[in-house]
Chain A
Amino acid sequence: MSEKTYLQAISDGLRTEMRRDNRVFVLGEDVGVYGGAFKVTLGFQEEFGSWRVIDTPLSETAIVAGATGAAMMGLRPVAEMQFADFVSCAWDHLVTVAAKQRWRAGTPVPIVLRLPSGGGFSGGPFHSQNPESSFAHIPGLKCVCPATPEDAKGLMISAIEDPNPVLFFEHKHLYRRIKGEVPDERYTTPIGKARIHAEGDDVTVITWGAMVYTAEEAAKMVDASVEIVDLRTVMPWDKQAVLDSVRKTSKVLVLHEDTRTGGFGGEIAATIAEEAFEDLDAPVKRVTAPDSPVPFSPVLEKAFIPQPDGVAKALKELISY
């Protein structure tokens, strides 16, 4: 074990797999000489050479299409988008080709897209989004959203191992802020298994990514026993863990940083209503960003991204309901 930042844990997972498996390579804008926009692949080109750490032109379409082709030919590409927001440029290759190839032709497409996502640093509308629900909606894609360094490494390795396209949403706000003990050896964190971040009896918060910590802060502000379920992966998601917690507390808050309408919280809320209706003691509540692009202004951005105060307020409403 050693203490690593969330960012170091991602690097560690990637490096572990590159050392272990020659088929694994990385590609993206400035991932090589520069070491990546956020320095996740710093030193990788020196260690693995420029054929396995490929600086690409500024074209997300080319990056995802190239990765898809390489995967179909048997390699295990890990492609980096500088910001998750720009994956929309590669929508066609990702959604039309990579997601459906296995079902159309039986060809596995084992690609990993690293998607630095999330706001909290005044990155504005193009550099702050959390588009996981858009891709969770696409059959054939998997979406993972680790919150802790340990999960970041374990899920990176699982994502590389997985024979399907996996979108790896790494939260920029957590990169250097969150540290934790991470096993030095290779291990995997299963895709589709939630983690109970905090056990509680009175009310459940279902969340993932950076919002796990927002929920943790909010929980300290209320006089109740709050259970925090960190989904870890949004597609597939751990329905059983969610339903188990709902059956325990009967009061649920779904919290995500993504915008509200069509956000993945709606899917969770609907599933709870369908499958755990008789266990509910209050309406399922959502706390999300409002339906607007992410604002630049620090003041507005703070109003946009769910904050502990707002989450605590929602928790209090549920507790007293």
Chain B
Amino acid sequence: MATNTAVDVVMPQMGVSVSEGTITKWSKNVGDTIEADETLLEISTDKVDTEVPSPASGVVSEILVQEGETVEVGTVLARIGGEPAAAAPTAPPEPATQPAAEATAAAATEGRAAPPEPEPEPVAKPAEPVAPGNGKAFVSPVVARIAAEHGIDPSQVSGTGTGGRVTKKDIQGFIESGAQAPQAPAPEPPSQPAPVQAPPPAPAPAAAPAPPAAKPAAAPIPATVGSAQAGESLEPMSAMRRGIAEHMRRSLDTSAHVTSAIEVDMTRVVQIREKLKKEYQAAYGVNPTYLAFIARATVETLRDYPWVNGELRGDQIVTRNYVNLGFAVELADGKGLIVPNLKNAETLNLLGMAKGIADVARRARDKQLTPDDVAGGSFTITNPGGYGTFHGTPVISQPQAGILGTYAIVKRPWVITDENGADAIAIRSMMNLTLTYDHRLVDGAYAGRFLRDLRERLQGWGETDY
């Protein structure tokens, strides 16, 4: 029967001289049901590699040591049964077979209905970026209190303190923004090579189910254990950094990333922007950035290439009649990024796009982003060109199918053909664009045509286009 008191699973003593062991594989995840003596995990010690059977039947309520970690004999590795939230008493690891009456009473005191055989309910917590109880992130008293008052898990908040510690301001900002939000100002033109969403918002609103290929509950990045070697220093990962790390790894594990690049002659756009700049500034107080031009042309082009704006959901292909256009925004301290998106970007003209981008950048700076701002993106633009880079291979923001990279606009000698068919070398403002796409859904020719059309739109930008 299932147990109501948590039973600890400890690192076994595999020989007299063995003092520690390494977790090589968990056979079960948190929330899985396991029978007594069924294999729960595999370990490796100096002497032997072996499987560790479960000491009890029940639901795996906690996994405390991650794969790859080495711990001393006797260390609690996991808990079976009990209330996952409550700190389980360190019960001896022998199989606990509680009398039914006691189990019922225990369940009753928890205020829950107590069926004789409690359903092994999956752990309710949504994907956690950090294994509970890893004890690395120090939570100050005031942060602990505020977190408790608002029912927040501090590990969900991005920290800006030393070593990524969550400060009082961080958690207050988190509460004020409604949920998760970036902690630091964002530069005006979003610029960061690898976009991701910050640690996942509590229950991902309208989020697609994770691709079936991926492991459920995305294996957390193994917490590194050990002390600094000479010349090294250690600092705990911030929750945002953990979220980024997890998302980047998961994206590469999920999508078949391929990058194609194209050279775009931006001379016309440069000229038109020069003209519009004054007008937009004077009339609307908005700067028509190159990014706004590119975003505008991208949205138009996506209309003809719905799979680039699509998604692979299970064995179905999702296409959309809208574009929620994400922009990778670097945090001011350079220690993280966030990808807010402009909803229904297909309804925005150049002015609206410029305004919209400025707005999300401002709200990222002022910590005013809401969960809606970062959820539901359908395509993303990342702009690392601000630093002069001319090529890159960004990582797709899951579950999207592509990401556009924009790079530095530089003057280059370029062969042009005049109306009489004569070739000449001219000085042109050139820019590279990359499209990184999920080859599971988007093929190279399709991506190439998308880039070609995008280039033609930008190169042929008319005086009266908007």
Contact = CB atoms under 8 A, between A and B. Distances in A.
Contacts of A321: 161-162, 165, 167
Nearest to A247: B142
B168 interface: yes
B161 A280 contact: no
Contacts of A292: none
A278 B161 contact: no
Contact of A278 (B142, B162, B165, B167): B142
20 contacts: A250-B140, A250-B142, A277-B141, A278-B141, A278-B145, A279-B142, A279-B145, A280-B140, A280-B141, A280-B142, A281-B140, A281-B142, A281-B143, A281-B167, A281-B168, A282-B140, A320-B161, A320-B162, A321-B161, A321-B165
A280 B140 CA distance: 7
5 cross-chain pairs, A with B, having the tightest CB-CB distances, nearest first: A281-B168, A278-B145, A281-B142, A250-B168, A281-B140
Q: Is the interface of B mostly helix, strand, loop or mixed?
A: helix
Contacts of B145: 278-279
Contacts of B142: 250, 278-281
Interface string B306-345: 0000000000000000000000000000000000000000
Interface in A150-178: none
Categorize the interface residue count of chain A: under 10
A263 to B, nearest CB: 24
Interface in A262-321: 277-282, 320-321
Interface string A67-97: 0000000000000000000000000000000
Nearest to A320: B162
The A interface is mostly helix, strand or loop, or mixed, namely loop
Contacts of A277: 141
Nearest to A246: B142
A124 B167 CA distance: 43
A252 to B, nearest CB: 11
Contacts of A281: 140-143, 167-168
Interface of B: 140-145, 161-162, 165, 167-168
B159 to A, nearest CB: 11
Given A250-B168, A321-B161, 9 more contacts: A278-B142, A278-B144, A278-B145, A280-B141, A280-B142, A281-B140, A281-B141, A281-B142, A320-B162
A199 B395 CA distance: 46
A253 B143 CA distance: 19
A278 B145 CA distance: 6
A26 B165 CA distance: 57
A278 B139 CA distance: 11
A59 B142 CA distance: 53
A278 B168 CA distance: 11
Contacts of A279: 141-142, 145
A288 B167 CA distance: 26
Contacts of B141: 277-281
Q: Which of A277, A278, A281, A282 has the most CB of B within 10 A?
A: A281
Nearest to A281: B168
Nearest to A277: B141
A225 to B, nearest CB: 11
Among B142, B143, B145, B168, max chain A CB count under 10 A is at B142
A152 B403 CA distance: 68
Q: Which of B141, B143, B161, B162 has most A Cβ within 10 Å?
A: B141
A277 B144 CA distance: 11
A152 B165 CA distance: 43
A282 B144 CA distance: 12
A278 B140 CA distance: 8
A282 B165 CA distance: 11
B233 to A, nearest CB: 16
Nearest to A201: B169
A279 B165 CA distance: 16
Nearest to A251: B168
Contacts of B161: 320-321
Interface string A23-57: 00000000000000000000000000000000000
